[in-house]
Amino acid sequence: DAGVIQSPRHEVTEMGQEVTLRCKPISGHNSLFWYRQTMMRGLELLIYFNNNVPIDDSGMPEDRFSAKMPNASFSTLKIQPSEPRDSAVYFCASSLGDSRSFGSGTRLTVV
Amino acid sequence: AQRVTQPEKLLSVFKGAPVELKCNYSYSGSPELFWYVQYSRQRLQLLLRHISRESIKGFTADLNKGETSFHLKKPFAQEEDSAMYYCALSAPYNTDKLIFGTGTRLQVFP
């Protein structure tokens, strides 16, 4: 099992551009989480899905951020338009019951 | 408000010294508490949870409801303990929404 797979590993983009981060959860896991990691704020939960349905998106910073989970094996986090303050490491995690696994993260740099 | 506070961003000790990573929480009720660890170039992983009451890699953490704390301790630090440590809480019986602290980087010098 390759675990939670995130792509890309690194993304550098210019301010104003659209950015799409991708996540493939572990097969059989029924919950998926998107986190943002920064030095100042640590790990923040942005949104999570249960059985492909968004349950809590209260952590999504603003309307520029959106997330989808069209099926049990794929999710995207989109930022449009991106801003320099969005620069962070974005983690995806999936879980089944109490067993939670994190991806390696996508390091996003917006210049 | 639900909150996890880790007051130290960086903790540096020498090998063999005792380690205590502080974690305080704010929660109305009895949350579940966790410690996660992220070693260099590795994924974030669960280290221990308070309901398990177990010692992992020599680390222990005791939930103190009076002080609303869940400090992580190890009597003798090893170089391989160097990592980023996150304290987290969730509602009881529903660990979906994990709230993390800002993390503490532990550096263990030889």
CB atoms within 10 A of CB B41: 6
Of the partner residues B98, B101, B103, the one whose CB lies closest to the CB of residue A45: B98
pLDDT at B7 over 90: yes
Confidence of residue B29 (pLDDT cuts 50, 70, 90): confident
Could you tell me which residues come within 8 angstroms of residue B64 by beta carbon, excluding any fewer than 6 positions away? B70, B71
Of the partner residues A41, A100, A103, the one whose CB lies closest to the CB of residue B46: A100
Q: What is the pLDDT of residues A20-70, one digit of tens each?
A: 999 999 999 999 999 999 988 889 999 999 999 999 999 998 899 999 999
Mean pLDDT (whole number) for B89-106: 87
pLDDT of residue A1: 64
What are A87's two structure tokens?
A: 């620069």
Only one residue has tokens 């993260």, namely: A105
Q: How far apart are CA A107 and CA A7, in angstroms?
A: 10
Residue B25, chain A, CB below 8 Å: the answer is no
Q: How far apart are CA B89 and CA B92, in angstroms?
A: 9
Q: What is the pLDDT of residues B35-71, one digit of tens each?
A: 999 999 889 999 998 887 788 899 999 899 999 999 9
pLDDT of residue A77: 98
Using alpha carbons, select from A50, A60, A34 the residue that is nearest to residue A96: A50
Type of residue found at B91: A
Yes or no: say if A105 and A16 are a contact pair by the CB < 8 Å rule: no
Q: How far apart are CA A12 and CA A48, in angstroms?
A: 25
CB atoms within 10 A of CB B45: 13
Residue B95, chain A, CB below 8 Å: the answer is yes
pLDDT of residue B55: 83
Q: What is the pLDDT of residues A68-108, one digit of tens each?
A: 999 999 999 999 999 999 999 999 999 998 788 999 999 99
Are the beta carbons of B96 and A104 separated by less than 8 Å?
no
Are the beta carbons of A40 and B102 separated by less than 8 Å?
yes
